[in-house]
Each structure stands twice: as C-alpha cells, then as structure tokens.
Amino acid sequence: MEITLLQLLTILGMAAATYSTRALSYLFLRGRGFSPDVKKLFEMMPCCVMVSVVAPSFMTTSIPDLGGLAAALLVAAKKSLILSVAAAVGVDALLMHVL
C-alpha cells in the first residue's frame, strides 16, 4: 500500500489543525486567569478535531474501520489521545491485511 501525495497532505493538514487549536489558544490567551472549566475546555479542543475526523467511521460497514474505531474508543477510555490514534491505525491496518 502506497501513500499518495494527497493522502500525505491530508494527514499533515489534520495534524496541523489538531496542534494549532491548542497552540493558538495558549499563544493568544496566555497570562490570563481562567476558571478550571475553561482550562478543561481548551485541553479538549484537539479531541474535538479528532472526533470530527473519526465520526464518519461510525457510518461504515467496513470491518477494518469498525475494528479501528473500537480500538480507539477502548484505548481512549484509559490512555492518551495519541495512543488511541495509534491503536486505531494499527488495528485498522492489521485487519485490512488479514481480511
């Protein structure tokens, strides 16, 4: 399986969108006092971007995609966002190879 230039640019664009939500909020709002609820909201912004990327997987009948989604949900319940993404990609790739 080869990755195309468009796929690579899409992945890099999603990574930039995920990172920029956190970096820009800290850059523009540093030095201000916020309530714990607002701070929690800022920490959850990258997760919101990831949900918008993953949400279409809920509407699929593809076994590898559903397996990756299940892995992401299971890992996200206990571990960090990056580990849930890695688990989803790993399970999806494994199931595509096996099936």
Q: What is the pTM of this model?
A: 0.51
pLDDT in tens, 62-86: 899 899 989 988 998 888 878 988 9
- Are 71 and 99 part of one and the same domain? yes
How many domains does one find in the chain?
2
Any domain includes 67: yes
Helix/strand/coil percentages in the chain, nearest 5: 85, 0, 15
Q: Give the separation between CA 36 and CA 72, rounded to whole angstroms.
A: 27
Any domain includes 52: no
- Are 68 and 41 part of one and the same domain? no
Band of pLDDT at residue 98, cut at 50, 70 and 90:
very high
pLDDT in tens, 22-68: 788 778 877 788 888 988 887 787 777 777 877 776 788 889 989 99
- Are 35 and 73 part of one and the same domain? no
Token pair for 12: 């890099």
Q: Give the separation between CA 68 and CA 92, rounded to whole angstroms.
A: 5
Any domain includes 65: yes
Which range of residues forms the domain containing residue 78?
60-99
Q: What is the pLDDT of residue 78?
A: 87
